[in-house]
Structure 1
Amino acid sequence: MPKDVEGTEAILSEIDTLRRQVARLKGIEQRCQKAEAALRAVEERNRLLGDSSPLGMFTVDALGGITGINRKMMDMFAWTSVDDPTSVNLFDGKALAGAGMVADIQRCIAQNKPVVAEHPYTAPGGSRIHLRCYLSPIPGIDGTVSGVMGIVEDNTDLKRTEEALRESEKRYRQLFQSAPFALIEWDVSHLKAYLEKLRASDVTDFREYFEGHPQEVHHCWSLIKTADYNQAFLKLMGVAGSEEPSGAFIPTDAEGFLKMAREIILVAAEGNTAEEREETIVTTTGEPKIVLGKSLVVSGHEDTLERVAIAMVDISQRKKAEEALRESERRFRDQALRDGLTGLFNQRYLYQSLAIWIDSAKTTDIPISLIFMDLDHFKTIVDTYGHLNGSRAIRKVAGTIGNCLEEPAFAVAYAGDEFVVVLPGMDQPQALQKASEIRASIKNSVYVLDQGIEVRLRASFGIATFPHHAEDLNSLIAAADHALFAIKEAGKDAVGQFTKG
């Protein structure tokens, strides 16, 4: 083959080889362009993620040079005047060094371990914030630390909130301890868990359950723990200042304590811990005291009941005063309806009460009988022994009449030596029998007056019955008086029944 032909073929072969190499290089170039575009996209996404993050992020090399930083971190460090933060050396920042962050980064590099630290930081503009830093070492190729990645959280609001909470808690404790009324805080969480366990085992009626299992009251009570208390509580419970109650109260076997404990446990079982109620508590000396209690779950512990505050005001004396006042009012009302000499009811009570009985009898058809009586020849007693002895005799006769009666029957000191006896539910024969009983008791009694004077008395009686002899109160009294008048006219010392003329 001619040399010219051979040379041409070699050139063509070399050209073909070069063409294939160019095509391969173009493919590589296209892949590199795609990789660069993907890398730029990743970097852009990372930048967007970093700048939109609520946390500050940065990376530094081992010498403190910033190799990356997001917008949040720049805002925290207040580097608004720096166009290229990566031109800054973090270790040269006096504020960061003064806050201790530079020392933490250097410690992370030296020890090749993560570091978590909190620091107050004053920015160049004078604003003060509180930072929490999470520092992680960046491993180099040879296993050494090439830098540090930091994630920084602005905890300023959290710190302010914590400080406000501490201050609030401090004020609460001051008020708690200085309160003039008893305060105690309970941890009821264990009791709550136990009650839920009982409920899960099909206990639905806790009141019935505790009545059937009284030993459970002591167990449940032991699950209530005291978290805090003030001096007023110790005074209320009769606890010496050196003692420290660990449980809710000091339990006893007294029925009063068991009743109180059962009611408090039932309140917890029903979930109604925020309520006001009167309760009788038992002190360490066994003394019952009536307290007005108000319980309230401390905010933030509603689900667990770990802190339940109970305020208690001792109202025992007030209750005694109220009871004394009620008793005084009762006595006053009673005295207003009683005769001062005999202690029997007076005319005011007669007309009030008899009217009610008659109104009732009109609908129930139950009879009401009335006895009108007076002492025979009583003026002779007064003329012979004096008015004081006369009064003593009337008082003693009133006692005899009262001894013959049972409720609802009652006697009335009507006037002087006159008496009225009201007998609800008794018809005329029964009234006659009762009048005869009273007459015999008076007749058989010896009444001892002043200076040992003994007298015997007689009495006359008139009987009338509603509705047979009268239609209303006044006509009933008048009918009995009429029957009495007839006996007095006939010779006295007898019982007479009203008869319509």
Structure 2
Amino acid sequence: MQQSSDIALTQLVEGNPVATIVIDANHRVTHWNRACAALTGVPAAEMIGRSEQWRAFYDSARPLLADLVVDGVAEAAIDHYYHGKFSRSALGEDSYEAEDFFPAFGDGGRWLFFTAAALRNAKGEVVGAIETLQDVTERWRAESALRNKEVYLAQIVDGSPVPTMVIGAQHRVTHWNRACEALTGMLAKDVIGTDDHWKSFYGTKRPLLADLIIDQTGEKSIDRLYHGRFRASSLIPGAYEAEDFFPHVGEGGRWLFFTAAPLRNAEGEVIGAIETLQDVSGRRRAEEALRDSEERYRLLSQTDSLTGLYNSRHLQEQLPAEIGRVRRYARPLALLVLDCDRFKSVNDRYGHLGGDRVLQNLAHSITQCLRSSDVAFRYGGEEFVVMLPETDAPSALAIAERLRLLFGSLKTVAPSGEAVQCTVSIGVAVCRPEDEEWSLIRRADEACYRAKQGGRNRVVLADSGS
């Protein structure tokens, strides 16, 4: 019966495609199968019946894992030979597995994964041990190549002058380069491995563009957070770019241009995302300064420098549009032409500085009487025009009368210290369907002339006969 059992074990071991060694309680080799001979280059005939199995693996005598199992040594002894490379096997109490590099094997050495388990008799006594060995060199090379690739990628990301971060499928940071540290003030060691990257950009937790790409939430979700400030990338499918202001970045906030793109595995599945950020605050400030400058230039080109009212050029631009609105919608429009009475004598007596102060006071009076829809212009010299949309004749006369009384009550202090009190004559014209800008101004101007001819300091309605 024992002989039959031995034959069965021999057949089982020999037929196993995995390299297998069996030793007895005295550490003598009882089985050394063909797969083991092929792996080690040592034939079974040189090993069976001997306890020098170490020669196939090491340059000097030392126990194999199976030898340590036969001796029933403590894990501390196993650790002495396989420090950091072994673990207890889940297959049995007396089983261990390890992985190590054997430089003498093959061309350039081999990585082997090996397991050893105790063999027991019917009484439970250890009568030997079986060890299996598998060549895992190709797996190690692939893993090493992957590690090298990851190190290479990390060096590329870290060496990039563009702030860059990478997050995995679970939204945890895997890369946070030095440029990103400089931009955000957060060190890589404090953020890598966490999902706290939002803290560098926002006061409360919310997803970054890279998070939205990982979740593949679609443009609606992106639009909800970056409405009007993002667009799909024209370079990378599934990538987006945006520009926004981040009040929590840097001192006083920063404008950032940022792009986020998916990272995919060989099957095309999204396994992470990379986001780059560029500080464009300088460009934005320059653009804002340019816009402010253009706005100032536009206002200067439309504004009279002495009074602050719009100039005659702007009147020529605005009045045709208002007359067009009157024709389209049949809405009323009135025009006032004002002329400061006896202004030449003011200039002669108080000088041009005194005259300028009187004109400034008149402009101030006009502004005080304007409604939000009304627009005033310095038409030339001491003459002013006020455009009154949505205003009929009675309303226009009431506004003109209020303006006349207000200015007549004001006193202007001349450079000499004397008080100057002036009046104004006002002509009022209501736009007719056939009016052009020149005809409307002419009728209001003629009404102003009649006001002067009638004694000054009065309001006259065009075509009224008074």
Tell me the TM-score normalised to structure 2 length: 0.69
Deviation at 1:187, TM superposition (A): 9.6
| Cα distance in 2 between the residues matched to 1:188 and 1:361 | 63
Q: Map Cα deviations across residues 363-413 of structure 1 (whole Å, 9 max, x no partner).
A: 222111111121122111122222233223222221221111121101101
| Cα distance in 2 between the residues matched to 1:354 and 1:188 | 62
Write the letter of the residue equivalent to 2:101: P
**Correspondence 1:216-235 to 2 at 5 A:** none
CA 1:353 to 1:46, structure 2 compared with 1: closer, same or farther past 3 Å?
farther
Q: Map Cα deviations across residues 75-111 of structure 1 (whole Å, 9 max, x no partner).
A: 544x4xx8xx432428457451249996223223333
2:132 is aligned with 1:151: yes
Identify which of 12, 22, 31 aligns with 1:60: 22
Contact 1:279 1:292 in 2 (8 A): no
Identify which of 427, 437, 446 aligns with 1:473: 437
Write the letter of the residue equivalent to 1:135: A
Corresponding position of 1:358:
323
CA 1:153 to 1:337, structure 2 compared with 1: closer, same or farther past 3 Å?
farther
Corresponding position of 1:4:
none
Write the letter of the residue equivalent to 2:70: I
Deviation at 1:320, TM superposition (A): 4.4
**Correspondence 1:35-54 to 2 at 5 A:** 47=15, 50-51=16-17
Tell me the TM-score normalised to structure 1 length: 0.65
| Cα distance in 2 between the residues matched to 1:288 and 1:100 | 68
State the structure with more CA Rg.
1
Corresponding position of 2:204:
261
451-460 vs 406-415, greater mean Cα deviation: 451-460
| Cα distance in 1 between the residues matched to 2:271 and 2:344 | 83
CA 1:408 to 1:147, structure 2 compared with 1: closer, same or farther past 3 Å?
same
**Correspondence 1:204-223 to 2 at 5 A:** none
**Correspondence 1:409-448 to 2 at 5 A:** 409-448=374-413
Residue correspondences, number: 402
Deviation at 1:440, TM superposition (A): 1.3
Contact 1:114 1:134 in 2 (8 A): yes
| Cα distance in 2 between the residues matched to 1:373 and 1:425 | 20
Deviation at 1:74, TM superposition (A): 5.5
Corresponding position of 2:414:
449
2:263 is aligned with 1:282: no
| Cα distance in 2 between the residues matched to 1:172 and 1:422 | 68
Corresponding position of 1:135:
116
2:144 is aligned with 1:163: yes
| Cα distance in 2 between the residues matched to 1:100 and 1:161 | 32
| Cα distance in 2 between the residues matched to 1:486 and 1:381 | 21
CA 1:321 to 1:95, structure 2 compared with 1: closer, same or farther past 3 Å?
farther
Q: Map Cα deviations across residues 119-163 of structure 1 (whole Å, 9 max, x no partner).
A: 213456524321111222344678665654333333323323433
Identify which of 481, 486, 490 aligns with 2:450: 486
- Counting aligned pairs with the same residue, the percent is 25
Which runs of no fewer than 5 residues in structure 2 stay unpaired?
Answer: 74-93, 223-238
| Cα distance in 2 between the residues matched to 1:471 and 1:276 | 53
Write the letter of the residue equivalent to 2:58: A
2:302 is aligned with 1:337: yes
Write the letter of the residue equivalent to 1:155: V
SS of aligned partner of 1:460: strand
SS of aligned partner of 1:282: coil
Write the letter of the residue equivalent to 1:482: E
Q: Map Cα deviations across residues 25-81 of structure 1 (whole Å, 9 max, x no partner).
A: xxxxxxxxxx9xxx99x969994xx44xxxx332334423544234xx55544x4xx
Write the letter of the residue equivalent to 1:429: P
CA 1:383 to 1:279, structure 2 compared with 1: closer, same or farther past 3 Å?
closer
Deviation at 1:424, TM superposition (A): 0.6
2:456 is aligned with 1:498: no
| Cα distance in 1 between the residues matched to 2:261 and 2:334 | 61
SS of aligned partner of 1:479: helix
Write the letter of the residue equivalent to 1:478: R
| Cα distance in 2 between the residues matched to 1:109 and 1:432 | 119
Corresponding position of 1:16:
none
362-371 vs 162-171, greater mean Cα deviation: 162-171
| Cα distance in 1 between the residues matched to 2:206 and 2:53 | 69
Deviation at 1:343, TM superposition (A): 1.0
CA 1:101 to 1:129, structure 2 compared with 1: closer, same or farther past 3 Å?
farther
Deviation at 1:114, TM superposition (A): 2.3
| Cα distance in 2 between the residues matched to 1:311 and 1:414 | 56
Contact 1:114 1:136 in 2 (8 A): yes
Corresponding position of 2:88:
none
| Cα distance in 2 between the residues matched to 1:474 and 1:75 | 109
Deviation at 1:466, TM superposition (A): 1.7
Write the letter of the residue equivalent to 1:87: A
Contact 1:59 1:69 in 2 (8 A): no
Identify which of 396, 401, 410 aligns with 2:361: 396
Q: Map Cα deviations across residues 209-241 of structure 1 (whole Å, 9 max, x no partner).
A: xxxxxxxxxxxxxxxx988867766766678x9
CA 1:100 to 1:266, structure 2 compared with 1: closer, same or farther past 3 Å?
farther
Contact 2:304 2:310 in 1 (8 A): yes
**Correspondence 1:456-467 to 2 at 5 A:** 456-467=421-432
| Cα distance in 1 between the residues matched to 2:37 and 2:294 | 82
SS of aligned partner of 1:97: coil
Write the letter of the residue equivalent to 1:110: D
Corresponding position of 1:116:
97
Corresponding position of 1:105:
66
| Cα distance in 1 between the residues matched to 2:254 and 2:12 | 75
Deviation at 1:421, TM superposition (A): 0.3
